[in-house]
Amino acid sequence: MSEAEQVSAVLDRMGAPGALAPRLLGVLGPGAAAALDANPWLLLRLPQVTPEQADFCARRHLGEGARPGDPRRLAALTGHVLRMSAARGHTVVEEKKLASVVGGFGVADPAAALEAAVADGSAVMLESTDEDDDEDFDFSEGGVPDLPDTELFYALPEVGHAEQRLGEQLLRLIGGNEPIMDSMTAGETVDAAVERGGFTVSDRTREALVTATLRPVTVLRHGPGDAAEIARALVCLDAIATDSQVGIAVAAPTAQAAAAVNADLARIRGERATGGGSEGARVSGGAGGAPEAGAAEETWGAGEDEAARGDESAEAASDAQGASHTQVASETQDTPDSQETPVTQGASGEQGSEEADEVREDREQPEQPEQQTQQSHEGQQDQQGPGEDVRSPVRAVSLPALLAQAPLKAGLVVLCEAMSVGAARAAELASVCADDAHLVLLADPNQAPSATPGQVVVDIAASRTAHVAEVADDDAPGPIAELAAGVASGGVPEVEAPGREVVRVPAASAEEAVHRVVQLVTDSIPRALGIGAEHVQVVTAREDGPAGARAVNAACKERLNPGPGAHGGFDVGDRVLFTAEGPGYGPGDTGHLREVGGGAVVELVGGGRVKVTDPAALRPGWAVTVAAAHGGRWPAVVAVFPPEVPVSRPQVYTALTRATRHVSLVDATGGGLETGVRENAAKERTTRLVRILREG
């Protein structure tokens, strides 16, 4: 009998569904059947099991031995509360609050429950001193300030220890405190890089770059339209690392985000090659900004065939012909033309056909050499160490690929899209940095916090132990950035979108929303904008429900890659999402399943291929939740908000800013979208990182 069958047999004896066996085996590991047989409350390790259900199974399995005060039950309930809290992004729970919640499950002695959880390893207790300052204490009165109060927190061991390690590693870097250059030399290096590149940077960006050169840990904030300015900043940081011979490593949370950064860098280098004045050479836009004529190709199709790369050339050429502002459209619902074409009101299907003809003509153009130089496997050694030849252009890799190169030799380590990185992943990155390395976190503070526990960027900035500066583009924002900025201010404004960068698509029901999504992905966006379906990402507000990620994935698979799902529910050619980490990949990465013999082989955005031995690490990836999309960027995004789903401002903002060229906003909320953006701002998370940094 296999171990899964043994677990299933135990579940059957306690009246629980045998279908839970694979999940329990994954959570409990080897010996799961024996552990569950001895402690039926281990069912609470699964988020879908409630305390009432676990108690029922325990009574059936243990009979009179199932007592309310059983230490196994107390520990399991405490761990259950901590897991629910971690799922909401908290790294710790304050002692009194935890005791109160545990007591709500009928526990007579909550303190005993907390002790039981610590005793069996379900929880750890962590101490911190009160972070309040003694600024108002009057020393002239001859007294002394009171000792700070000690606060007690509880956490899941892996979460609490990860945040503690992050704080300690950041303090290690902060303790180095050696500038890469003095401020005057850094400023001169930036100016020289700008002159060589034929572009300009804003005064705020220049100051931010000097700050990153001087300070060991820096948060560089930016807005939704600053992608091009970030690329220019990276070119300047590369120059600083080159001139100082410290080396640089640039990472983004996912392969698709790294590809987007490299596309931005390629446009900068492409304009450099074409020459022109500094003003004429600037790349406009960021999110929603169209690449200008002569810009280097995007690197999204690195792993596709020549036809796919031709599509990318067509996309760049099509974008170059666009103006910068037209009225955003609300697509009408009843006519076939309006259903098929995501354009401004009044635009005809013939216009889309004409644009498609232009796309086909542009496909005859050869691929630009600059794109070829940017296409490389994510597993290559892309960090540059002190004293090494650092003349090759800077490029970004995925964070999993960078961590695989540990220890990092680079003296300047840059993480893009840092808001999406939780405490555990940030701890890994900080841990592999050299003692004298400078860590730079590029982050948009209006984005949602990470899908995993922690609020790393927010806490580092709040601790006042690191420095905060701003990367800001002085150019006018593109339509996507303009819409996102409006959302950040609490509204959902109408914006002008001449190149169809933004489209509002109303839907009367969840079912209609799914229909519209499939239409947009498979027909409207490819036909009208020349962006292939493989470069369109659907982002949903929820996982389940009639317009959730599961339903949209099923509909997309039926149209884009129909098949029996013979390989663990997948077929070769399916688009997949990674939900776990492994060699060369991490949660949030997307790609296409290319091989299944002897393990799944997935081609990531950018062309790199990774082997996946655990099929549980994969989910269908045509549609992903906002949380899963956080940290990724795609040429086109279809954001779906079904009815009766809570909407928040950071959620909508994050969904919009996943797009680099186009976003379709499918709205079936009946006004709930505007209400959610207006009323539901960011929620605070309970963490210890600020305390750890200040105490250090």
Residues 460-487: tens digit of each pLDDT = 999 999 999 999 998 889 999 999 999 9
**From CA 629, how far away is CA 145, in angstroms rounded?**
48
Asked whether residue 21 is assigned to any structural domain, the reply reads yes
pLDDT at residue number 281: 32
Q: Tokens 């490593």 label which residue?
A: 249
For the stretch 252-303, pLDDT in tens is: 999 999 999 999 999 988 844 333 333 333 333 445 443 333 333 333 333 3
The pLDDT assigned to 410 comes to 96
Under the banding of pLDDT at 50, 70 and 90, the label for residue 568 is confident
18 in a structural domain = yes
Rounded mean pLDDT, 39-64: 96
pLDDT of residue 1: 80
Query: Residue written as tokens 């947009």?
Result: 520
What is the average per-residue pLDDT within 393-403? 94
Residue 331 has pLDDT above 90, yes or no: no
| Across 77-94, average pLDDT | 98
Give the separation between CA 478 and CA 289, rounded to whole angstroms.
5
Tens digits of residue pLDDT in 4-38: 999 999 999 999 999 999 999 989 999 999 999 99
Q: What is the Cα–Cα distance from 248 to 433, expressed in whole angstroms?
A: 11
Q: How far is CA 492 from CA 174, 325, 489, in A?
A: 40, 17, 9
Q: Is the pLDDT of residue 340 over 90?
A: no
pLDDT at 370: 35
Residue 566's pLDDT band (cuts 50, 70, 90) = confident
Confidence check: pLDDT of 676 > 50: yes
Q: What confidence score (pLDDT) does residue 142 get?
A: 58
Average pLDDT (683-690) is 95
430 belongs to a structural domain = no
Residue 74 lies in a domain: yes
What is the model's pLDDT at position 265?
A: 95
Among the residue ranges 187-191, 193-197, 379-383, 524-528, the one predicted with the least confidence is 379-383
110-119 helix and 71-87 helix, angle to the nearest 10 degrees: 90
Q: Which residue has the tokens 């007690």?
A: 152
Q: Which two tokens stand for residue 315?
A: 């996309």
Residue 12 in any domain: the answer is yes
Q: Tell me whether residue 25 is in a domain.
A: yes
Low-confidence winner among 149-153, 294-298, 414-418, 419-423 (lowest mean pLDDT): 294-298
Per-position b or e across 439-458, b if 16+ CB within 10 A of its CB: bbbbbbbbbbbbbbbbbbbb
* Angle, helices 255-274/227-244, rounded to nearest 10 degrees: 80
Q: Which residues lie below 8 Å from residue 415, measured CB to CB, with a gap of 6+?
A: 251, 252, 253, 399, 421, 429, 439, 440, 441, 442
How crowded is residue 76: how many other Cβ atoms within 10 Å of its Cβ? 27
On the question of pLDDT at 64 being above 70, the answer is yes
> What distance in Å separates the CA atoms of residue 330 and residue 353, rounded to the nearest whole number?
20
- What is the mean predicted confidence (pLDDT) over 595-605? 89
Element spanning 241, H or E: helix 227-244
Q: Is the confidence at residue 102, as pLDDT, over 90?
A: yes
Q: Are 179 and 213 in contact (CB under 8 A)?
A: yes
pLDDT tens digits, residue range 425-443?
A: 999 999 999 999 999 999 9
Angle, helix 227-244 to helix 183-197, in steps of 10 degrees: 120
Closest CA to 677 of 648, 642, 645: 648
Query: Cα separation of 651 and 665, whole Å?
Result: 13
pLDDT at 368 > cutoff 80: no
Q: Has residue 154 been placed in a domain?
A: no
Helices assigned H by DSSP within 89-226: 95-103, 110-119, 157-176, 183-197, 203-214
Q: Is 439 among the domain residues?
A: no
For residue 138, the model assigns a pLDDT of: 55
Q: Do 128 and 691 touch, CB atoms closer than 8 A?
A: yes
Domain count, the chain: 1
Give the H or E element holding residue 318.
helix 306-320
Residue-range definition of the domain harbouring residue 82 = 3-129
Average pLDDT, the chain: 84
